[in-house]
Chains A and B, each alone.
Chain A
Amino acid sequence: MSQVRLAIDIGGTFTDVVLDTGDGKVNTTKVLTTPKAPEDGALTGMMAVLDAGGLKPGDVDLILHGTTLATNALIERKGAKTALIATEGFRDVLAIGYEDRYDQYDIAIVKAPALIDKPLRFTVPERVAVDGSVLKPLDEAAVRALVPQIKAAGVEAVAVALIHAYAAPAHERRIGEILAEALPGVSVSLSSSVSPEAREFERTMTTSVNAYVQPLMAGYLKRYEDRLTAEGFHAPVLLMTSGGGLTTIETARQFPVRLVESGPAGGAILAAEVARACGEDKVLSFDMGGTTAKICLIDDGVPNTARVFEVDRQSRFTKGSGLPIRIPVIEMIEIGAGGGSIAKVDAMKRIAVGPHSAGSDPGPVAYARGGTEPTVTDADLTLGKLDPDDFAGGRITLDAAGAAAAVKRVVGDPIGLDAAMAAYGICEIVDENMANAARVHAVENGADVASRTLIAFGGAAPLHAGRLAQKLGIDKVIIPAHAGVGSAVGFLYAPVSFEVVRSAFVPIDTMDHEAVASMFAEMDALVRPVVTAAVAESEVTATRTAYLRYMGQGHEVPVVVPEDFDATSLREAFEAAYSALFGRTIAGAAIEAMSWSLALSAPARAERMTETATGDTTAKPRTLFVPEDEATAEVSAFPRAALTDGTSVAGPALVTEAATTTIVPSGYTAALNVDGHLILTRTTKAQEIAA
């Protein structure tokens, strides 16, 4: 019996909805996001796809949901009025931060203000040592004495983050109990539950963010549930997390920080699914939209994960300028490179692209909506990659002359290039920026990027994926079906899962096996109910990970902890992983564990997605700039549907569809595979092309 499922991804501009009827058919729609009441836009889209599929709300078996609501609340600083309770002597952890500057050579930088203002940062006498022993007991009277102040300030949420609470949570829990009793209706987040890891700034920040978005998310989820019931939906709702798993509404209410960045995670899950379906075990996923490009490594069908990421970067996309959040996430590198990224010429007469974006308003010059600065889209149009009369399914007519003029005026004239060469320069730089980001990201993960397959989705990615592949020496590029609503489609393939990470310093050679085993048992007791609330116990599998390092180092390498682990097996696994990353091991150095994680997961559904493109199959002539020739050439633009009969086209050529255009570069051929994914395969070596 096939399941009917709805996936909804609420983004900043658009809400994407996908209906999966389980028979291989997928209906999709894009509606405008309704920021004041996001459930309105979501319901509009949901009803639209149900209508189109001839179904009713009651027919839906499962609803999968992702939202940028938490992220936007952070970026716009529109979260709850939040107070912080910290250890006496540590009121300003959020304001002190890393004590660094995100740009060394800019003496005018401004840092993001602390998420919680000083008048709402309270402290209580207590202190725990690094080993969890109590140096100073909790002064409960001092906690109670804070209650009237918190009440008077109209606080809606409280974050509690005490020094070393990851090692000994008792004081935080007691504060939680006292507040629950004295301040009913105020939500409380404890750092020992939200992010039990060492390093006080990240833990305090993560807990504060959780508290800050909690009332808003709880309110939204309640309204959403009520609307669903009112419209006649009976299906359970699962929420997408930034870790790439699905979780229950209850968990989302408790740990809303886990939902930040869930949209991009959906994209990575889609890429992972396509990777599995195509039998690709080493993949680089590439998601390029209007403002940013996101790159993720996917090994054996599983996206790489990380434990910390930044939101709300003060200086757009400058590493270090945002708020660090320490939770399990799908590891992605995001750079300011999208269709709307603005190009200019810098002091050394170098072309600079992004991170500033023209967005959708005014948008690129080509949109003729008041934009005057040339963007990547304007360069793409100038090079013939886009058809001015057939953009976004013909809904927007592009101003090709205006775009070319802006490209020439801003970039070409200062360095003596004509419009085409300037546009080529813009594309080369943005593609190189993305290639460099991919390379650095791969190296940080000990991966070789050239041996990977590139999976590209998002409106702008297929225009640039071919060149990116050339630069990275990649032989194969896949443009999946439904690439335009990639994140929502990805939700359909996400597992139900939840992960916790806990800091516990353990020297491996003298490890107390029992203590580690019982810590995992405790973590299991915490996570299992979260997962079994959504799936049967029998489907759940566990993955245990130790974060190890040589004693004295500061960065850890994750190692899977086997069922029968001991000091020897952990050392061997660590040395193999370390050697893969850094090329050598250090003889005689002791190994210690810094943190441990447990992830419980139930597999996603197995049916694979297929698509048969339909519509016009007539190839059209197009004038395209060919980089290898440094000149334009007459090439063919094939509708995607023209390839359904097994036709293979050789580059330079274009493959067009309503939502995007794929550039097939010289040295590559393009064809559809059995599932309807477009595959670009290299036929010529990279060096011959570059030379």
Chain B
Amino acid sequence: MSAADAIRNQVMWDRLIAVVEEQAQALLRTAFSTIVREAGDLSAGVFDMEGRMLAQAVTGTPGHVNSMAESVKHFIDIFPVETMKEGDHYITNDPWRGTGHLNDFVVTTPAFHDGKMVGLFSCTSHLIDIGGIGFGPDGHDVFAEGLNIPFLKICDRGTMDANVMAMIRANTRLPVETEGDVYSLISCNEIGAKRLSEMMGEYALTTLEPLAEHIISASYKAAMERVAALPKGTTRYSMTIDGLDKPVDLVAALTVAEDGVHVDFDGTSGTAKKGINVPMAYTRAYTAFGLMAALAKGIPNNSGSLSVWHIEAPEGCILNAPRGLPVSSRHIIGQMLPDVMFGCLEPLIPDVVPAEGTSCLWNITLRGQAEGNTLGRHGFAVTITTNGGTGARPAADGLSATAFPSGVKGSPVEIMEQAAPVVIWKKELREGSGGSGKYRGGDGQVIEIENRFGQSMEVLAAFDRIDHPPRGRAGGGNGANGSVSLSDGTKLRGKGTQEIPAGKRLCLETPGGGGFGKAEAAE
């Protein structure tokens, strides 16, 4: 490779990253789902003919990205690339081979240049309602959690499959929005494919493979260099969280080896009766995110950099839930996994890893009757994204009211009150909730919500760290526990659908992050 070729490879790599960013922006701007459009719960990426992810958009959230990357391989196993035509689009929401629960639709699209297929684009976003019992952990199996769309071709050479669309519309409480979101996913892949073809025209490329090899091998090498700098050996960490009706132990052994980092979740608790179980794809996604963030800063996510992490969990444990189990709220436990990784890495890189944080989103999913709605029980369904505090870092306080590891934004109060008949009476920082220490954990929030029209409504609770707060590190104090209650003082459970009686407010206190270092050493 000449020096000019090397520079050109880099330029094209940068271009691919720009293309997927465009793809993600298009999705963000056309989405109907409030959790996508206001909170950014989506992801987008470009893949080579073997289904290897070459670039992902910075916009989006990690649980989606790494699991979507795996999903594309399933798409091309089921629909061989030789059979794909320009204008085809494929869809699924399979939790085990998609991104972990039925609410996430994954759309994959072949990209063509000069009439020849050259790669694939894939994207995913979180839809507000996919039928079943709604977005919460109450289901006893995945069938109760809504419509399951197997791997299907939804658009054949530009013609939408009306049957599939009709089936989707008939199985959601929000048919217009859900259909609109399917179009939004398709459009964003189309935009990505168009840009890719333009780039290949400009550089007179007929195939992406040499560029793909370059991206993957350079990223792999860079990540392996980071791994090689770590001492070889095995470390362990265990973290207990609330779980459903009994606490869940998340146990991991991390081994630094010649071929990368191995993580084994052996010892982790078994599956739960309701929907907080985690499919392996989602476990891999958030575990890899924790490793990338702690060990591979500055190296882009792609199948090269991701291939140095070898992640296993025994089948039947809560982190490798067998097919058929309920998984709707798999994010609660999945988002705890970076904390477990940081615990394992503390002996190796004590100056890098933060204390434990709230980690799982405190998404407030509410539903009830809309004003004047006589059509059914559930006139509205809304998910309000909120957060607690993050863990303190070795050289800085934790972040208050901030999503980590999820990459989504909080929902604006004024927009949520437009989307649903609720009044959010309070949304303030929960002072002093961050753990004490040389550096303090981030503060959580205090939130109060009431039905605007004096009716009862339901909360589909999916909260954790109520009994088991985020722990401090290196002598730092624990963050404050979370709490869920009614305005009359009645305690609510952290998980499951519960009624907010008319005239009562739902009161939430989101957890604070753990502190770092001993408090008396504070500067």
Real binding pair: yes
Where the two chains meet, the residues of A that have a C-beta atom closer than 8 Å to any C-beta of B are 88-93, 95-101, 104-111, 127, 129-130, 135, 163-164, 198-201, 346-351, 415-417, 421, 424-425, 428-429, 432-433, 436, 439-440, 443-444, 471, 473, 505, 550-555, 581-584, 586, 588-590, 627, 630, 686-687, 690-691
Q: Tell whether B32 is near chain A: CB-to-CB under 8 Å.
A: yes
Per-residue contact bits, chain B 336-376, to A (CB 8 Å; 1 contact, 0 not): 00000000000000001110000000000000000000000
User: A348-B221, A425-B7, A429-B14 are known contacts; what are 8 more A-B pairs with Cβ within 8 Å?
Assistant: A90-B426, A99-B386, A100-B403, A101-B399, A129-B452, A417-B3, A428-B7, A428-B8
The one of A429, A582, A584, A586 that contacts B11, using a Cβ cutoff of 8 Å: A429
The answer, yes or no, to whether B37 is at the interface (CB within 8 Å) is yes
Knowing A105-B293, A135-B423, A505-B418 are in contact, say whether A96-B401 is a contact too (CB < 8 A).
yes
A-B contact pairs, 29 of them (CB 8 A): A89-B427, A91-B429, A92-B428, A96-B401, A100-B402, A101-B399, A101-B403, A130-B417, A163-B414, A164-B417, A198-B414, A199-B412, A199-B415, A200-B412, A200-B414, A347-B222, A421-B4, A425-B7, A433-B14, A436-B14, A436-B15, A443-B26, A443-B195, A444-B22, A473-B202, A550-B180, A555-B29, A583-B190, A627-B4
Specify which chain A residues have a CB less than 8 angstroms from the CB of B4 in the assembled complex.
421, 424, 627, 630
B307 to chain A, nearest CB (A): 15
Asked if residues A432 and B11 are in contact (CB atoms below 8 Å), the reply is yes
Contact A690 B415 (CB under 8 A): no
What is the minimal beta-carbon distance from B341 to any residue of chain A, in angstroms? 11
User: In this complex, what residue of B is CB-closest to A437?
Assistant: B18
Contacts of A687 in B (CB 8 A): 201-202, 204
Judge whether B58 is part of the interface by a CB distance below 8 angstroms: yes
- Residues on A with C-beta less than 8 A from B445 are 96
- Shortest Cβ gap from B275 to chain A (Å): 24
Considering the chains assembled together, what is the distance between the CA atoms of A687 and B205 in angstroms?
11
B428 touches A89 (CB 8 A): yes
Are A586 and B423 in contact, with the CB atoms below 8 A?
no
Residue of B nearest to A554 (CB): B37
The distance from the CB of A446 to the nearest CB of chain B, in whole angstroms, is: 10
C-alpha gap A473/B203 in the complex (Å): 12
Q: Which residues of A contact B426 (CB under 8 A)?
A: 88-90
Quick one: which of A92, A471, A554 contacts B31, CB cutoff 8 A?
A554
Taking CB atoms, residues of chain B closer than 8 Å to A550 are 32, 180
Can you list, as one digit per residue, whether each of B252-288 has a CB less than 8 Å from chain A (1) or not (0)? 0000000000000000000000000000000000000
List B contacts of A201 (CB < 8 A): 412
User: Are A90 and B402 closer than 8 Å at their CB atoms?
Assistant: no
Whether B393 lies near A163 (C-beta < 8 A) is: no
Whether A104 and B407, one on each chain, are in contact in the complex, defined by CB atoms closer than 8 angstroms, is yes
Contact of B28 with A by CB under 8 A: yes
B298 in the interface (beta carbon within 8 A): yes
Do residues A552 and B204 form an inter-chain contact, with CB atoms below 8 A? no
B6 at the interface (CB under 8 A from A): yes
Chain B residue contacts of A630, Cβ below 8 A: 2-4
CA distance A582 to B26 in the complex (A): 7
Asked whether B297 lies within 8 Å of A106 as measured between CB atoms, the reply is yes
| B191 neighbours in A (Cβ, 8 Å) | 443, 582-583
Task: Please report the C-alpha to C-alpha distance between residue A586 and residue B292 in the assembled complex, in whole angstroms.
Answer: 39
Query: Within the complex, what minimum Cβ distance (angstroms) separates A288 from chain B?
Result: 18
Q: How far is the CB of B432 from chain A (nearest CB, A)?
A: 12
Within 385-425 of B, Cβ neighbours of A (below 8 Å) are at 385-387, 393, 395-396, 399-404, 407-410, 412-415, 417-418, 423-425
Residues of A within 8 A of B2 (CB): 630
Question: Could you tell me if A129 and B423 are in contact, using CB atoms closer than 8 angstroms?
Answer: yes
**A443 lies within 8 A of B10 (CB):** no
Interface residues of B in 1-56 (CB under 8 A from A): 2-4, 6-8, 10-11, 13-15, 17-18, 21-22, 25-26, 28-32, 34, 36-38, 40
Nearest CB of B to A155, in Å? 21
Which residue of A has the minimal Cβ distance to B181?
A552
B residues in contact with A436, CB < 8 Å: 14-15, 17-18
Cβ of B164 under 8 Å from chain A: no
